[in-house]
């Protein structure tokens, strides 16, 4: 990898500590830092009064010591004086309540006063530091803490403009939204409001447009900052995406940045290393290029209900895993563990006394084991779409079903069979992959259906796929535009909790969704417990009329993917030079690759 660094906050320390910190950085191989993304009130303590002395000194001393700098624009933390002057800039939540000052991300991206000031401070940053620093980060974690969504007056006004641009006239909107249902017809754009605190279900077509609009609003704000920075700097620009985060269309947002970076934290109650891998692969797939882990959990965090303190060796393993999955760098958050503020319980690379910790030692050591880059061969493609995640949120069939969770089960099955997995989007070309999986894709654009029909390898399509159109209407016949290829029609469906089934005479558990399938000219290779069709095959096309877990997917995929690996607690990647395998255990592990025994030391990453 090229980047070994950490998040650093010089403004949190007396300047006498800076040289001490930098000495430790150099001793342990910290070559990059990200700074500046929360310094708005330091730089602009009063309206229009700018003081860059702290940031100037910090950048100068870092550069003098050959430490590269990623500079973040500080727009995620508007100062108190700004919210006092323009309280209307504060966001409004789903319940109509104003979200106030006192933490961070307390702004609506559609507030004109806020954006005027945010773009002004961005201009000040960009014009002052230009190409003096090494890369830029725009804002910090767009949408974090539920802040993608704001329903203030500014948001509503902008939403109406967005709708006018999309539909042209109110008649088109009424038709697309099906407003004849429940007497929701609109005569004028100004009659449209956000459906917050409604007595019951919201209009599902309006809700999909709200999700689209809120994502577009954040993307527009990012683009405005990017455009300002590009006037003054040729350095690459990024934004830090988040784990398991579906509120924003990251694929669309990534069009305006030079490389994808993201924050790798354990977001689930139970740690699952292959879930982290799935997120790595999604980040790599957004641009189909290497990515940066710009924030890596160091050990303990501060924002979970219970914050486990992972052993220092885990930081080394997490860094190796990012390397295995195509990262070009890892930067733990944070370098300097702090004794005050909202993140005082968050771990770092230094301890509270400013001494190097065992985590820093583990991170420094792994640098020698992660040289170069790993490029995984294209093997298995999993279709993914942020808008499908939004459509699933609006579903009233089984609200326990979670799109990304179900996709991760497929990813884990593919990885544990020993194959590479990549996510593809509707505008990607798919011909280079060996197998195509299209899971729970309620809406499949016509362009992607055409690509599937031309695909030469096996295609696996699941329940719920091609059920909806672009406006979130249910199709007349399901799966739309794929009935001939699959040799079946879905004539009805309903929710289940957990039932039993069988695939190729092997018992499986099935979840959430059960379809009634009318067989046309496919053959049945899996059944529900009532002996009705569940899994079918026609030539290279397979259909699964329910939701499977990892074990079920291993069985159904085994018809075309012979298992390469036998073992537990590993991750493997196939490259042009062979295989790279990572032991996910802190104990000795043994796996069998293509029948050959492979012994792995604790958390070892081995090239074969």
Q: Report whether 564 belongs to an annotated binding site.
A: no
Residue 573: beta bridge partners?
580
Pairing between strand 421-424 and 533-538?
unpaired
- Angle of helix 403-416 versus helix 386-393 axis, rounded to 10: 130
104 annotated ligand binder = yes
For residues 106 and 203, the answer to whether their CB atoms sit within 8 Å is: no
248 — phi, psi (to 5°)?
Answer: -115, 145
Active-site position among 44, 295, 379, 389? 295
Q: What is the CA radius of gyration of the chain?
A: 25
What 8-state DSSP symbol labels residue 333?
S
Nearby residues of 337 by Cβ (< 8 Å), 6 or more positions away: 346, 347, 348, 349, 350, 351, 352, 357
Rounded CA separation 466/552 (Å): 22
Q: In sequence order, which residues have a C-beta less than 8 Å from that of residue 254 and are 6 or more positions away? A: 260, 286, 287
The Cα-based distances of 316 to 65, 172, 331, 469, 602 in angstroms read 25, 55, 12, 45, 11
Phi-psi region at 545: left, alpha or beta (left = phi > 0; alpha = psi -120 to 50): alpha
Q: Which of 37, 141, 387, 515 is catalytic?
A: 141
Two tokens, residue 495: 């929710």
**Is 295 marked active-site?**
yes
Q: How far is CA 380 from CA 499, 523, 560, in A?
A: 28, 24, 11
How many angstroms separate the CA atoms of 410 and 286, rounded? 18
Residue 189 is assigned to a ligand binding site = no
- Quickly tell me which residue has 């890892």 as its tokens: 330
Binding-site entries for substrate: 104, 140, 303
Binding-site entries: 104, 140, 303
**Which positions are catalytic?**
141, 295
């Amino acid at each position: 990898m090229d980047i070994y660094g950490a998040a650093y906050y010089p403004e949190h320390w007396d300047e006498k500590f800076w040289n001490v910190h930098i000495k430790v950085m150099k001793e342990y191989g910290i070559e990059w830092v990200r700074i500046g993304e929360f310094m708005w009130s330091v730089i602009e303590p009063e309206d229009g009064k700018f003081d860059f002395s702290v940031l100037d000194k910090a950048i100068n001393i870092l550069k003098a010591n050959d430490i590269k700098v990623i500079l973040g624009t500080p727009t995620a933390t508007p100062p108190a004086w700004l919210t006092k002057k323009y309280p209307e800039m504060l966001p409004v939540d789903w319940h109509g309540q104003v979200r106030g000052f006192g933490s961070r991300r307390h702004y609506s991206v559609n507030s004109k006063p806020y954006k005027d000031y945010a773009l002004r401070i961005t201009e000040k940053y960009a014009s002052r530091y230009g190409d003096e620093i090494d890369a830029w980060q725009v804002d910090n974690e767009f949408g974090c803490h539920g802040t993608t969504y704001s329903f203030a007056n500014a948001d509503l006004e902008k939403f109406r403009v967005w709708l006018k641009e999309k539909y042209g006239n109110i008649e088109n909107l009424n038709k697309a939204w099906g407003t004849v249902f429940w007497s929701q017809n609109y005569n004028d754009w100004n009659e449209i409001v956000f459906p917050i605190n409604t007595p019951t279900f919201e209009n599902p077509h309006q809700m999909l447009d709200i999700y689209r609009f809120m994502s577009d609003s954040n993307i527009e704000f990012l683009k405005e900052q990017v455009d300002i920075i590009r006037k003054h700097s040729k350095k690459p620009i990024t934004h830090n995406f988040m784990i398991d985060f579906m509120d924003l269309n990251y694929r669309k947002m990534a069009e305006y940045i030079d490389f994808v970076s993201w924050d790798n934290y354990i977001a689930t109650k139970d740690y699952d290393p292959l879930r982290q891998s799935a997120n790595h692969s999604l980040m790599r797939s957004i641009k189909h290029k290497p990515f940066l882990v710009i924030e890596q959990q160091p050990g303990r965090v501060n924002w979970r209900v219970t914050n486990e303190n992972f052993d220092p060796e885990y930081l080394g393993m997490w860094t190796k895993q990012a390397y295995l999955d195509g990262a070009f760098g890892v930067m733990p958050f944070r370098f300097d563990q702090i004794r005050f503020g909202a993140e005082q319980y968050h771990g770092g690379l230094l301890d509270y006394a400013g001494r190097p910790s065992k985590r820093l030692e583990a991170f420094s050591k792994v640098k020698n084991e992660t040289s170069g880059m790993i490029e995984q061969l294209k093997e298995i493609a999993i279709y993914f779409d942020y808008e499908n995640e939004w459509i699933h949120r609006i579903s009233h069939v089984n609200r326990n079903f979670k799109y990304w969770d179900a996709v991760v089960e497929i990813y884990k099955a593919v990885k544990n069979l020993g194959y590479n997995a990549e996510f593809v989007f509707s505008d990607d070309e798919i011909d280079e992959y060996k197998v195509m999986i299209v899971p729970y894709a309620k809406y499949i654009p016509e362009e992607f259906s055409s690509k599937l029909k031309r695909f030469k390898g096996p295609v696996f399509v699941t329940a719920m796929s091609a059920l909806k159109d672009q406006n979130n209407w249910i199709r007349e016949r399901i799966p739309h535009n794929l009935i001939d290829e699959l040799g079946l029609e879905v004539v009805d469906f309903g929710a289940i909790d957990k039932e039993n089934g069988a695939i190729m005479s092997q018992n499986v558990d099935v979840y959430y969704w059960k379809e009634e399938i009318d067989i046309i000219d496919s053959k049945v290779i899996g059944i529900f417990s009532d002996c009705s069709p569940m899994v079918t095959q026609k030539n290279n096309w397979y259909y699964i009329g329910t939701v499977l877990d990892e074990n079920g997917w291993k069985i159904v995929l085994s018809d075309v993917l012979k298992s390469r690996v036998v073992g537990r607690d590993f991750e493997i990647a196939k490259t042009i030079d062979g295989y790279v395998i990572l032991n996910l255990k802190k104990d000795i592990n043994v796996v069998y690759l293509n029948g050959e025994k492979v012994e792995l030391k604790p958390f070892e990453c081995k090239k074969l």
